[in-house]
Amino acid sequence: MIRSVQRSGALLFALMLTGCVVKQQTPAPVEPTQPTTPVQPEPQPEPQPVPPPQNVPQPPKLKTINWSASVSPLVANMVQSAGVNPGSVLLVDRLKNSTNGALQTEKATSAIQNALANNGKFTLVSDDQLNQARQTLGLSPEDSLNSRSKAIGLARIVNAQYVLYSNAKGEVKSPTLQMQLMLVQTGEIIWSGNGATQP
């Protein structure tokens, strides 16, 4: 009897062990998974063609002229001309631009005045005297004389005996300079000269 109980217990024990092993060997149920949709890569924007660089138009450049070298030979010729009384007062008119472009007329006028400084024959009308004379005639300081009657009127106010007209003509890249020395009292042109400008 005891042996049969022992056998039964052993058998029961064996069965338990077997059941445990079986349980351990049974794979766990696989949970159903949702089908995954493949991830589509986001479309990349197509590269835009780079526009070619645009050439920005350059502003027109003023022609660079060596005014000092351009006016000096003419001024020297004029000073040596006959008929000019030493110590005479000279009114220098602003250079008139008759070319087909823009010129630095202020620089040209300054170069003429500088070339006439210490010339030994003429006393130049100062800028202050000229501005006062302009006010007397009701002319603005920027008013280029360019009119012989205006220049003569100014010259008489400042007691100048001569007026020097200067004009740049022709192609703006290589204009020709023309100068005329006029006697204020009679309006007579007593000297004239022409010359090419120097770069």
- CA proximity to 129, closest of 152, 167, 157, 87: 157
Q: What is the mean pLDDT of the chain?
A: 77
Whether pLDDT at 21 is above 70:
no
Between 173 and 32, the more confident residue is 173
Location of structure tokens 């110590």? 87
pLDDT at position 22 is 46
Provide CB contacts within 8 A for 46, sequence distance 6+.
none
Whole-angstrom distance, CA of residue 197 vs CA of residue 64: 10
> Strand 176-183 to strand 189-196: parallel, antiparallel, or no bridges (unpaired)?
antiparallel
Nearest to 94 by CA among 65, 67, 122, 64: 67
Q: What is the mean pLDDT of residues 76-100?
A: 85
Q: Which of 106, 87, 84, 89 is nearest to 166 (CA)?
A: 106
- Cα distances (Å, whole numbers) of residue 132 to 144, 157, 164: 15, 9, 19
List of residues 6+ apart from 97 with CB closer than 8 A:
103, 105, 168
Residue 113 is which amino acid? Answer: Q
- pLDDT range class, residue 60, cuts 50, 70, 90: low
Report residue 198's pLDDT band, with 50, 70 and 90 as the boundaries: confident
Q: What is the pLDDT of residues 129-186, one digit of tens each?
A: 888 887 887 776 655 555 667 777 888 888 999 999 889 999 988 899 999 999 998 8
- Gap between the Cα atoms of 137 and 148, Å rounded: 14
pLDDT at 36: 61
> pLDDT exceeding 90 applies to what percent of the chain?
20
The pLDDT value given to residue 85: 77
